[in-house]
Chains A and B, each alone.
Chain A
Amino acid sequence: DPKIIQKPKYLVAVTGSEKILICEQYLGHNAMYWYRQSAKKPLEFMFSYSYQKLMDNQTASSRFQPQSSKKNHLDLQITALKPDDSATYFCASSQERDYEQYFGPGTRLTVL
């Protein structure tokens, strides 16, 4: 059974629209993260949460907003989508900081 679920697997959106990427982890971890991977930036750290509290935000744009409704959920809301947002978005989790991070399967977003 998958331990980290990301939904949807593929997502196509039009410029200017808004989408929510879903992430749920069933590893019992306390920390969750979002990363973005594209041809321009191979693996880019975006956010980290611990016990549903924002720990670090390396995303300059406020168009990207993480949402944590439960300890094992960390969704990513993206507003006013741009073609440059096209990438694979990975959710990850770890027991605590500096411990092994487990990555989800990713959501591949294409913005037309």
Chain B
Amino acid sequence: QQQVRQSPQSLTVWEGETAILNCSYEDSTFDYFPWYWQFPRESPALLIAIRPVSNKKEDGRFTIFFNKREKKLSLHITDSQPGDSATYFCAASTGNYKYVFGAGTRLKVIA
């Protein structure tokens, strides 16, 4: 079954801390994993993405760690800023024009 699960549902961290958002999936044919973030009253926007050929993808303060064997990935946000407060969606695709999204993690960064 094609499902993407995210945890925690919500997360609160202090400014400067590292926020860790988790994602797991079941379908081993998934081969593209984008993370999107969405601010209130806005549309989702791509934040960072990874393919299974890599186990790590870094972009500034945002890093994806990918464990293909366990079918898990996580998004690490270092030096969290209040402006990072948003809902983060993990998604997966098998390359057939279909994307499966997780339920999202609502992150709040307190100054």
Knowing A43-B89, A43-B104, A45-B101, say if A98 contacts B95 (CB, 8 Å).
Answer: yes
- Kindly list 6 other residue pairs between chains A and B, CB separation below 8 angstroms, not including A33-B97, A98-B32, A100-B34: A42-B87, A44-B101, A97-B95, A100-B49, A101-B34, A105-B43
Among listed A20-28, A48-56, A64-72, interface-contacting one:
A48-56
Q: Which residues of B contact A42 (CB under 8 A)?
A: 87, 89, 101-104
CA of A55 to CA of B96, assembled, Å: 7
Q: Which residues of A contact B89 (CB under 8 A)?
A: 42-43
CB proximity of A104 to chain B, nearest CB, Å: 6
Q: Are A48 and B97 in contact (CB under 8 A)?
A: yes
Interface on A for B, CB 8 Å cutoff? Answer: 31, 33, 42-45, 48-50, 55-56, 58, 90, 97-98, 100-106
Most chain B CB within a 10 A radius of its CB, from A90, A97, A98, A105: A98
CB proximity of A27 to chain B, nearest CB, Å: 13
Q: Which residues of A contact B32 (CB under 8 A)?
A: 98
Residue of A nearest to B99 (CB): A45
Q: Which residues of A contact B34 (CB under 8 A)?
A: 100-101
Residue of A nearest to B45 (CB): A103
